């Protein structure tokens, strides 16, 4: 089994999502035939798509600059990593009600027509239905159980929408929220998320 693991937090050693990612990977690696491909999207960020790179897909490679060729090669690498993974775990903290810009840049590379989805006369068809996604979601406030806050959640909702778009229905969310509402609430939220991770591996073993 191959795992693609993505960290996107900019908080370094203070990051709860990174802490939970480490907890997840530790359990994953207990498998005798497990393999992890790890990307730190903060330490090695993916450039946001530019007009030049987007247009390059329609041009002859002979006319492209070395920089653009490198960007296209990176896109291909990211797509191949995604397509060859059995499961993808994404540590996605909420920033300003949505996902980190580093994660958005990665998503814009792997959500690609002809590779992870296609257009048909009947509409869009996702090409990655066999994938399993685990989202490690961390938030400062409570959103999941607060009706007045749910409309502000463009983090989990966006991630579910974009992965549904490319055909993925098997999406599990490990959530730690209320992290900025006091030390006691924070510690309980982290402990609960770690418990959910352990339960996930008990379930699949």
Q: Would you say 17 is a known binding-site residue?
A: yes
CA pair distance 194, 188, nearest whole angstrom = 10
Instruction: Report the pLDDT value the prediction gives residue 182, as an integer from 0 to 100.
Output: 97
Q: Would you say 15 is a known binding-site residue?
A: yes
Mean per-residue pLDDT, 21-27? 96
- pLDDT tens-digit series, residues 149-158: 999 999 999 9
Topology of the domain covering 2-204: Rossmann fold (3.40.50)
Q: Would you say 97 is a known binding-site residue?
A: yes
Using CB atoms within 10 Å of the CB of residue 145, give its burial: 0 to 12 exposed, 13 to 18 middle, 19+ buried.
Answer: exposed
Q: Which two tokens stand for residue 89?
A: 């775990």
Q: Would you say 9 is a known binding-site residue?
A: yes
Going by pLDDT thresholds of 50, 70 and 90, the confidence category of residue 205 is very low
**Partners of residue 175 on adjacent β-strands:** 137
Nearest to 2 by CA among 22, 31, 42, 45: 31
Q: Would you say 34 is a known binding-site residue?
A: no
Dihedrals phi, psi of 158, to nearest 5 degrees: -65, -45
pTM greater than 0.85: yes
Mean pLDDT of the chain: 94
């Amino acid at each position: 089994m191959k795992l693609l693991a993505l960290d996107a937090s900019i908080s370094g050693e203070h990051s709860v999502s990174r802490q939970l990612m480490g907890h997840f990977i530790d359990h994953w690696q207990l498998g005798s035939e497990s393999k992890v491909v790890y990307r730190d999207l903060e330490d090695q960020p993916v450039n946001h798509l530019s007009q030049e790179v987007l247009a390059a897909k329609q041009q002859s490679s002979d006319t492209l600059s070395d920089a653009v060729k490198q960007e296209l090669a990176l896109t291909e690498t990211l797509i191949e990593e995604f397509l060859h993974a059995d499961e993808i775990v994404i540590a996605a903290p909420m920033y300003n009600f949505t996902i980190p810009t580093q994660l958005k840049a990665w998503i814009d590379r792997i959500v690609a027509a002809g590779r992870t989805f296609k257009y048909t006369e009947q509409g869009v068809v996702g090409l990655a239905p066999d994938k399993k996604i685990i989202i490690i979601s961390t938030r400062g406030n409570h959103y999941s159980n607060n009706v007045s806050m749910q409309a502000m959640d463009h983090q989990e909702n966006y991630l579910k929408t974009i992965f549904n778009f490319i055909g993925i229905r098997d999406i599990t969310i490990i959530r730690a929220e209320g992290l900025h509402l006091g030390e006691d609430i924070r510690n309980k939220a982290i402990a609960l998320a770690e418990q959910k991770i352990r339960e996930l591996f008990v379930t699949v073993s």
